């Protein structure tokens, strides 16, 4: 992370405007339908690691408020779905780059459309602000490097032990000072310090949220 003199959209929006932008992008979309279609086609219906669940605006905002950095960041979501966490991170934090990792093709494609629309809307409405670069990677988590990420998010409630172990084995890649947000599943690593634990309401339930920070 680096202290920025650039202007990002999060500095120009009231909570009411943030909520309005978020709702306009997502209220008409049903991510569960996209997910179900893809899981049937890929024969992944029995794999709980691909269970679909969406963040809620207020609950995820509360989590991002814990981080509340003024430094420009790269935000990555492991299992990014429609891109809700990516958009909300950009609305709340000075995001220079958004990276979503989503294996399911319909969700990956739709999220690209949503993020492109979001960035175009920001450019049109706020021509003087920095717009984040966006990358949606349709692949498994192991294919992605963590070494440039400032905030890494994983809605890990239904992740298998193997997936959590894989994430754990790679947290050393994170930069010193980087954050890891985990839902439900805890990470045990000498490289991390747990700085926050709390419960926050999402669309699907009330997960325990752990926020870790990469130690030096």
Domain count, the chain: 1
Q: List, in sequence order, every residue forming a beta bridge with 76; answer none if it has no partner.
A: 99, 152
pLDDT tops 90 at residue 214: yes
> What confidence tier does 124 reach under pLDDT thresholds 50, 70, 90?
very high
The predicted pLDDT at position 49 comes to 83
Q: Comparing C-alpha atoms, which of 214, 210, 187, 184 is closest to residue 51? A: 184
Lowest-confidence region among 4-18, 67-81, 114-128, 149-163: 4-18
Beta-carbon count within 10 A of 42 CB: 13
Helix axis angle for 15-26 and 57-67, nearest 10°, is: 130
Contact 100, 125 (CB under 8 A): no
Q: Which residue has the higher pLDDT, 2 or 82?
A: 82
- Concatenating the DSSP letter of every residue in 136-179 gives EE-S-GGGS--TT-SEEEE--TT--HHHHHHHHTTGGGSPTT-E
Task: Show the domain range for 54.
Answer: 2-214
Split at pLDDT 50, 70, 90, the class of 2 is low
Strands, E, within 18-86: which ranges?
Answer: 71-78
Burial class of residue 112, CB neighbours in 10 A (0-12, 13-18, 19+) = middle
The Cα 73–Cα 96 span in angstroms is 6
**Half-sphere exposure (Cβ direction) of 110: Cα atoms closer than 13 Å:** 21
Write out pLDDT tens, residues 74-108. 999 999 999 999 999 999 999 999 999 999 999 99
CATH of the domain at 18: 3.40.50.150
Beta bridge partners of 133: 97
- pLDDT at residue 4, rounded to an integer: 54
Write out the H or E segment, with its range, that includes residue 192: strand 192-199
Query: For residue range 132-147, what is the model confidence (pLDDT) as tens digits?
Result: 999 999 988 888 999 9
């Amino acid at each position: 992370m680096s202290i920025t003199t650039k202007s990002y959209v999060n500095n120009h929006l009231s909570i009411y405007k943030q909520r309005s932008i978020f709702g306009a992008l997502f209220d008409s979309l049903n991510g569960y339908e996209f997910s179900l279609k893809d899981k049937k086609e890929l024969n992944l219906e029995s794999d709980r690691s691909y269970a679909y669940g969406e963040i809620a605006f207020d609950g995820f905002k509360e989590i991002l408020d814990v981080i509340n950095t003024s430094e420009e960041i790269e935000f990555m979501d492991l299992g990014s779905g429609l891109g809700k966490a990516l958009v909300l991170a950009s609305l709340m934090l000075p995001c220079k780059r958004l990276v979503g990792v989503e294996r399911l093709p319909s969700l990956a494609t739709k999220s690209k459309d949503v993020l492109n629309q979001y960035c175009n809307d920001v450019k049109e409405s706020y021509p003087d602000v920095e717009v984040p670069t966006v990358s949606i990677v349709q692949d498994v988590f192991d294919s992605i490097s963590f070494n440039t990420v400032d905030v890494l998010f994983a809605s890990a409630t239904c992740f298998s032990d193997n997936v959590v172990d894989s994430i754990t084995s790679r947290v050393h890649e994170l930069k010193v000072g980087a954050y890891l947000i985990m839902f439900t599943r805890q990470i045990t690593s000498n490289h991390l310090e747990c700085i926050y634990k709390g419960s926050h309401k999402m669309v699907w339930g009330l997960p325990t949220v752990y926020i870790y920070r990469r130690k030096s």
